[in-house]
Amino acid sequence: MRGAKSAKWVAIAGVVALAATACGGNSSSGNDGKAKAVDPSGVFSYQSNEPQHPIQPANVMETGGGRITDALFSGLADYNPKSGKLENLVAQSIEQNGPSDYTIKVKKGWTFHNGEPVTAHSFVDAWNWGADTKNAQQNASWFSDIQGYSDVHPDKGSPKTDKMSGLTTPDDYTIKVKLANPAPYWTYKLGYSAFYPLPKAFYSDPKKYGQEPVGNGPYEFVKWNHNKDFLTKTYAKYAGPKPKNGGIDFKFYTTSEAAYQDAVSNNLDVLDQVAPTDMAKYHQDLGKRAVDAPQNAIQTIAVAEYAPAIKNVKDHAKFIEGLSMAIDRATITKTVLAGSRTPATGFVPPAVDGYKANACGEACSYNPAKAKQLVQEADGANASISILYNADGGHKEWVTAVCANITQNTGVKCDGDAKADFKTALDVRTKKKVQSLYRSGWVQDYPLNANFLKDLYGSTAAGNEGGYSNKDFDKLAAKADKAATLEESVKLYQEAEAALYKDMPAIPLWYYKTNAGYSENVTNVSYDTFGKPVFTDVEVYKK
Amino acid sequence: MGRYVARRLLQMIPVFIGTTLLIFLMVYSLPGDPVRALWGDRPVDPVALNQLRHEYWFDRPVLLQYWHYISNVFTGNFGTSFVTGRKVTDVIGESFPVTLRLALVAFAIEIVIGLALGLLSGLNRGKIADKFVLGLTLLLISVPVFVLGYIFQTVFGNQLGWVTPTVQDSNDISQLILPGVVLGSLSFAYVARLSRTSIAENMRADYIRTAVAKGLPRRRVIGVHLLRNSLIPVVTFLGTDLGALMGGAIVTEGIFNVHGIGNELYRSINQSDNATVVGIVTVLVIIYLVTSLVVDLLYAALDPRIRYV
């Protein structure tokens, strides 16, 4: 989920444009004028989809299961919904003792929904279990910074031990962490679901637990009606900030169009994301209840450095820069994408720590004359390029628009290279058979600039599928990873980002937005930088 | 008769093996690595990847995979989805009754309204009622199902407020009426047209003239002599249509958020979830086979000239 795999679309060729959509003004249970009373035990419904896996924090990656896991669990720290800054939650304190040593004190008084107290062991045992090769957890690599990871998760063969040597618990409420290599921003990973604690009941039967999860978060599990909904209620003994509602009903929708219809007619309370087909009218339909919030995710066109079409161009950096300047981001986001994106001015979205305004500068602003000049200087005017994308993600429209821009302004021939679905496009990318360019999306794992840079453009990064290599960037990133403090590291990564614009590993296009809304039954709905509603803040009106 | 049924049932075995093998190979040949796709845009963990591939037999030759699958099926184990980790029999057991209900609602509407309209227009050939029915069915046949779905959803759900725009509880049959109408609309137009033609034709047949000449009451002439013989093409159509309604409800299920077999099939094809696809398709194939057997047996009941030995 945290990779920007766009919501799947049902391939519907057209949409009936019925002029009148009855909404807004229709009978709203007759409370007009008077302020409606809030019911602190009211339950609200939320647009979700059937989790793809059993609920196990170290194995959850897609949106459906991810949102549910976030409601059921509380980690040591969490990100501030607005600023994205890391704030302690179950942790009393997280202290850095040395470049790669941390001491985490766990608050007393926290309990799992079955009454078991949350201790240092609840965390450490869960991390060891998640990292263990034998359990084949999808998020295992999140633990790779910790010393001893390669013993429980060797590249080949079975693990030597089931405990990472870097994790120790001097007492029941203290965790000492030793990292294999210094990573000043390691603490930011603690807010991710892989680092959630697990109760003892989990280990005896992980399979059963996955169907009836027991967490330590604000909401406890009630019932999972497969393919229908996932019911939760507020955990009465929750030790964190008390939720302002009585629970969440995660309602599974097969299409986001159906969810939208339900939200407009007040049959669904909180939307996760408005369907692309409804983007043009949702402000009108929902009025003040429409939400338009920034999200820390970016869409780029990445360059396949190995492709002949790119290699044959004389000055590769100038060529890509020229293409980038030929794209009229402001118009495309406004028209083709119906205002659902914000033009990008760099590789790092605004609400991320380390964001630098206008980092990309001239190279990301629309300038047809300069674009043409650069492409000609690069000796690439006769080149022909294509943009690989997956046809099931709603990308066709903007790829066509971007290509039209490029051809019109620079004369470079540009075509969309559609693959049937995301899986197929991904296969072409991992096998390094991309013709020249490919669309690439990235949603933050944690709101820190390193996540948008090192994991995508480092020479050896697994996310670097285009084969990009920039020695300056690698050097600065390595230096930033060894920095003594978080601030210093963030600053060094800003320098590293600047180095990227010299030869452009990708063309930043736009940042995502959370386009959502809510029904007349709820109020105080806001969304964090992940695009997730702040569940505990939602208030439900009395019926 | 008994021997005929037994023979037909035995024929199902090779058909069953053939279709499962074909479907298995088709899903296998879909491009892309389904296990790798679980990680999406994020970098993959090679160890976990290989482990999952091994656990679900993706690293064996395809025929061996099929053998592993089919030998399990014969012991009653339809396998586990590598994506959801759920037993395929559980998934089918949950979503199948929903689709069955939806299909039966559509089927009932199809028979009742379709036959009534067919009778109305067939008996009044060339008159205004006939023209009206022809016009209406032409309209229904030419409008795609999803257009009709969205129109009904907006009009009845959002504007008139008679129903909720989507189905809130997939197991509540009263909520399935609107999607059922949408799903059955195309077929009921066909049923109306088929029965109209065949009724209009048989009205001039010798046995009807004889029946009228014998002085039989009109109700008996139409109800027994005319309808029974006119129903043969309609029954043929209805038999195959029941299967089509179940497998082809994907669009309708999507619009009205019905959690049936269509959506499950769509998801599992998308993710190359072989065990689930083959499991669902197998059930659909069995339904097709059984309904076509029932149709063949119905012929004998409808037409006294047909006998099975």
Residues 6+ apart with CB under 8 A from A346: A355, A356, A358, A359, A360, A364, A497, A508
Q: Does B259 touch chain A (CB under 8 A)?
A: yes
Portion 151-210 of A in contact with B at CB < 8 A:
153-155, 207, 210
- Amino acid identity, position A354: G
A442, B41: Cβ pair inside 8 Å?
yes
Give the per-residue pLDDT at B27.
Answer: 86
Classify strands A413-419 and A384-390 as parallel, antiparallel or unpaired: parallel
Q: Which H helix or E strand runs over A103?
A: strand A101-106
Q: Which residues of A touch B44 (CB under 8 A)?
A: 462
- Nearest by CB to B165, from A16, A265, A422: name it: A265
Q: Does B159 touch chain A (CB under 8 A)?
A: yes
Classify strands A86-88 and A77-79 as parallel, antiparallel or unpaired: antiparallel
B158, A265: Cβ pair inside 8 Å?
yes
Residues A30, A33, A34, A35: is their CA dihedral positive or negative? positive
- The fold for domain A78-208 equals Dipeptide-binding Protein; domain 1 (3.90.76)
Give yes or no for residue A424 having a pLDDT over 60: yes
DSSP string, A343-377: E-SSSS-TTSBT--TTSSGGGGS--HHHHHHHHHH
Q: Does B1 touch chain A (CB under 8 A)?
A: no
- pLDDT digit string (tens) for B135-148? 999 998 899 888 99
DSSP state of A441: E
Q: Does A461 touch chain B (CB under 8 A)?
A: yes
pLDDT by position in tens, chain B (length 309): 788 888 888 988 898 889 889 988 988 888 888 888 888 777 788 888 888 888 888 888 988 988 988 888 888 888 888 888 888 888 888 888 899 899 999 999 999 999 999 999 998 888 999 999 999 999 988 998 889 999 999 898 888 888 888 888 878 888 888 999 999 988 889 999 999 999 988 888 898 899 989 988 988 888 888 888 888 888 888 888 888 888 768 889 889 989 888 888 888 888 888 888 988 888 888 888 888 888 888 888 777 777 776
Rounded Cα gap, residues A417 and A64, in angstroms: 29
Q: Which residues of B touch A52 (CB under 8 A)?
A: 38, 83-84
B42, A61: Cβ pair inside 8 Å?
yes
B254, A254: Cβ pair inside 8 Å?
yes
- Contact (Cβ atoms closer than 8 angstroms) between residue A330 and residue A394: no
Q: Which residues of B touch A207 (CB under 8 A)?
A: 85
Rounded Cα gap, residues A45 and A247, in angstroms: 9
CATH of range A27-72+209-292+516-540; options 3.40.190.10, 3.30.450.20, 3.40.50.720, 3.40.50.2300: 3.40.190.10
Interface test with B, best of A426, A431, A456 (most B CBs within 10 A): A426
Interface test with B, best of A138, A144, A388, A460 (most B CBs within 10 A): A138
Distances, alpha carbon A487 to alpha carbons A129, A184, A491, A492, in Å? 32, 9, 6, 9
For chain B, the structural domain boundaries read: 95-302
B166, A18: Cβ pair inside 8 Å?
no
Q: Does A459 touch chain B (CB under 8 A)?
A: no
- Contact (Cβ atoms closer than 8 angstroms) between residue A444 and residue A297: yes
Portion 383-402 of A in contact with B at CB < 8 A:
392
Considering only the C-alpha atoms of chain B, give the largest distance between any 2 of them, rounded to a whole number of Å. 85
Distances, alpha carbon B296 to alpha carbons A400, B223, B240, B247, B291, in Å? 53, 22, 11, 21, 9
Portion 137-156 of B in contact with A at CB < 8 A:
146-147, 150-151, 153-154
Q: Does A427 touch chain B (CB under 8 A)?
A: yes
Give the per-residue pLDDT at B162.
Answer: 86
- The fold for domain A295-513 equals Dipeptide-binding Protein; domain 3 (3.10.105)
Give yes or no for residue A31 having a pLDDT over 70: no
Residues 6+ apart with CB under 8 A from B219: none
Give the per-residue pLDDT at A156.
Answer: 82
CA B163 to chain centre: 25
Token digits of residue A306 = 């190995």
- pLDDT digit string (tens) for A126-179? 999 999 988 888 888 899 999 999 999 988 888 889 999 999 999 999 999 999
Rounded Cα gap, residues A266 and A28, in angstroms: 9
For chain A, the structural domain boundaries read: 27-72+209-292+516-540, 78-208, 295-513
Classify strands A341-343 and A413-419 as parallel, antiparallel or unpaired: unpaired
CATH of range B95-302; options 1.20.1740.10, 3.30.70.890, 1.10.3720.10, 1.10.760.10: 1.10.3720.10
Residues B41, B46, B52, B54: is their CA dihedral positive or negative? positive
Give yes or no for residue A497 having a pLDDT over 90: yes
Closest by Cα among B178, B179, B168, B290 to B245:
B179
Residues A18, A20, A25, A30: is their CA dihedral positive or negative? negative
Q: Which residues of B touch A264 (CB under 8 A)?
A: 158, 165
Give yes or no for residue A299 having a pLDDT over 90: yes
Q: Which residue of B has its CA nearest to A452?
A: B42
Residues 6+ apart with CB under 8 A from A94: A76, A77, A88, A102, A103, A104, A105, A187, A190
Q: Which residue of A has its CA nearest to B150?
A: A16
List the end-to-end C-alpha distance of chain A, in Å, as a whole number.
35
Q: pLDDT class for A403, splitting at 50, 70, 90? A: very high
Q: Which residues of A touch B151 (CB under 8 A)?
A: 16, 18
Closest by Cα among A475, A445, A484, A458 to A183:
A484
Give yes or no for residue A503 having a pLDDT over 90: no
- Tally of CB atoms within 10 A around B38: 22
Q: Does A365 touch chain B (CB under 8 A)?
A: no
Portion 98-157 of A in contact with B at CB < 8 A:
133, 136-138, 140-141, 153-155
| Alpha-carbon dihedral angle through residues A235, A241, A246, A251, given to the nearest 10 degrees | -90
Residues A535, A536, A538, A541: is their CA dihedral positive or negative? positive
Portion 65-94 of B in contact with A at CB < 8 A:
83-86, 90-91, 94
Give the per-residue pLDDT at A8.
Answer: 36
Q: pLDDT class for A427, splitting at 50, 70, 90? A: confident
Q: Does A252 touch chain B (CB under 8 A)?
A: yes
Tell me, letter by letter, the H, E, C secondary structure of chain B.
CHHHHHHHHHHHHHHHHHHHHHHHHHHHCCCCCCCHHHHCCCCCCHHHHHHHHHHCCCCCCHHHHHHHHHHHHHCCCCCECCCCCCEHHHHHHHHHHHHHHHHHHHHHHHHHHHHHHHHHHHHCCCCHHHHHHHHHHHHHHHCCHHHHHHHHHHHHHHHCCCCCCCCCCCCCHHHHHHHHHHHHHHHHHHHHHHHHHHHHHHCCCHHHHHHHHCCCCHHHHHHHHHHHHHHHHHHHHHHHHHHHHHHCCHHHHHHHCCCCHHHHHHHHHHCCCHHHHHHHHHHHHHHHHHHHHHHHHHHHHHCCCCCCC
Q: Does B268 touch chain A (CB under 8 A)?
A: no
